[in-house]
Amino acid sequence: MNLAQVLNGLRDPMGVPFYPWFFQVLMVLTFALHIIFVNLAIGGSFMAVYEHYKKGENNKRLSRFLARSSTVNLSAAVVLGVAPLLFVQVVYDPFWYVSNLLSAWWAVGFLCFVTAAFLALYAFYLKRNPESGMKGFGFFGWLTFGLLLLAGFSMHLLSVQFLEPEKWKLWYLSGNIMNTSGTTVYDFRISRYLHFIIPSFAITGVFMMLYGWFFRQRQDMDKEYLHWVAVSGAKMALWATIIQIIIGFWWLFSLPKNLNFTSNAFLWIGVILGVIFFLVLMAAQKDPEKYAVLSALFAFLAVLGMAVSREVLRMVYLGKFNYSIYTYKLNIHWGSTALFLLTFVMGIIVMAYPLTVAWKLGRYGTTSKEGA
């Protein structure tokens, strides 16, 4: 039996309850939303602790804001991360489960890293102020950042092993001895890893631009402070994007040449969206508040283009083994599908009201400068 037969034989014999393309579209969309909040959590936690050690009052205020918002962004990242993970398990189950078994400790460790990052982030957020009487809590900010990087490393490790089924047997067997420790790092690609980490600072920079734009109509907010935050965010976003472009091409040219991915149309659509985002950021340097919303829009489109390109590349990788999600056995179950869609729509409706209230209170309400 060849590898293609093995991979297709590992599929769920019950098949999928609805059309695979439906899960794929939702997987890409939810992954794009998830990775944006991951970027905000990573970049926000770093900038919160970095600004914490600065002496300026603006730096301290920005640190307080980013520390508080990072707790929300990390929560959103975790919640939104459930969806793409479930969709991966539905249509790519042979690859995901084997990868998790090969490095089981890293798969379980991911949950531990994220949980510990949550606790460290709250320790930094709640106890870092001088009024608390507690000193040295900047350490917990750096710990949060490090743990989030470690969690990203775990996901990177599992995702790379996912794409290399031809190596599974070699990894699992060392001579005649089976490696069942689950602790081994079988493959690590620094360019791919950085390709997901560096955008954290670009997305966080855009977030800071939005902060300046969002609160500028408030009478109780310091306009000079808001402009300083927006300008700082625009600069950080621009330089992070420049670095990301360099790393992106490094990653692209490190791909196996037999994939011919450099000629893939979806890749270049993503590249074009990234270039447009970069041009918008260049224009935003003069008036970051004016370009904040446009920058956020193209940041999302660039991330979405990356998510689409990532999924297309995964299909190209697995196409070498005659594996296609579109050939998965179809066993339509209208009841569960309808329930899923109904729950999804109802969730949007339920969340619309508190989000609308939060928007109006944040934009027009009265809060203290300490909380801003």
pLDDT band at 128 (very low <50, low <70, confident <90, very high): low
Question: What residues contact 32, with CB distance under 8 A and at least 6 apart?
Answer: 300, 303, 304, 306, 307
Whether the per-residue pLDDT at 180 is higher than 70: the answer is yes
Average pLDDT over residues 282-300: 95
Could you read off the pLDDT of 27-56 as tens digits, one per residue?
999 999 999 999 999 999 999 999 988 888
Residue 244, SS3? helix
Average pLDDT over residues 90-116: 93
Q: Which residues pair with 16 in a beta bridge?
A: 330
Mean pLDDT of the residues in the chain: 89
The pLDDT value recorded for residue 367 is 47
The pLDDT value recorded for residue 129 is 58
The pLDDT value recorded for residue 216 is 85
Could you read off the pLDDT of 130-179 as tens digits, one per residue?
554 445 678 899 999 999 999 999 999 999 999 999 999 888 886 677 88
Which of 3-7, 197-201, 240-244, 368-372 is least confident? 368-372
Whether the per-residue pLDDT at 203 is higher than 90: the answer is yes
% of the chain beyond a pLDDT of 70: 94
Whether the per-residue pLDDT at 369 is higher than 50: the answer is no
- pTM of the model as a whole: 0.91
- Which one is predicted more confidently, 179 or 322? 322
The pLDDT value recorded for residue 357 is 80
Range picked from 222-226, 347-351, 363-367 for highest mean pLDDT: 222-226
- Which one is predicted more confidently, 363 or 266? 266
State the Cα–Cα distance between residues 333 and 197, nearest whole angstrom. Answer: 39
Whether the per-residue pLDDT at 19 is higher than 90: the answer is yes
The pLDDT value recorded for residue 371 is 47
Which of 45-49, 250-254, 303-307, 357-361 is least confident? 357-361
Average pLDDT over residues 282-291: 94
The pLDDT value recorded for residue 170 is 86
Task: State the first-to-last Cα distance of the chain, in angstroms, to the nearest integer.
Answer: 63
Average pLDDT over residues 100-129: 90
Please answer whether residues 113 and 74 qualify as being in contact, where contact means their C-beta atoms are separated by less than 8 angstroms. Answer: no
The pLDDT value recorded for residue 366 is 53
Please answer whether residues 209 and 289 qualify as being in contact, where contact means their C-beta atoms are separated by less than 8 angstroms. Answer: yes
The pLDDT value recorded for residue 139 is 87
Please answer whether residues 24 and 325 qualify as being in contact, where contact means their C-beta atoms are separated by less than 8 angstroms. Answer: yes
State the Cα–Cα distance between residues 209 and 292, nearest whole angstrom. Answer: 5
Residue 189, Cβ density class (10 Å: 0-12 exposed, 13-18 middle, ≥19 buried): middle
- Which one is predicted more confidently, 20 or 353? 20
Q: How far is CA 262 from the centre of its chain?
A: 24
Whether the per-residue pLDDT at 359 is higher than 80: the answer is no
What six digits make up the tokens of 312?
């297309």
The pLDDT value recorded for residue 362 is 73
Could you read off the pLDDT of 236-263 as tens digits, one per residue?
999 999 999 999 999 999 998 888 888 8
Average pLDDT over residues 222-239: 94
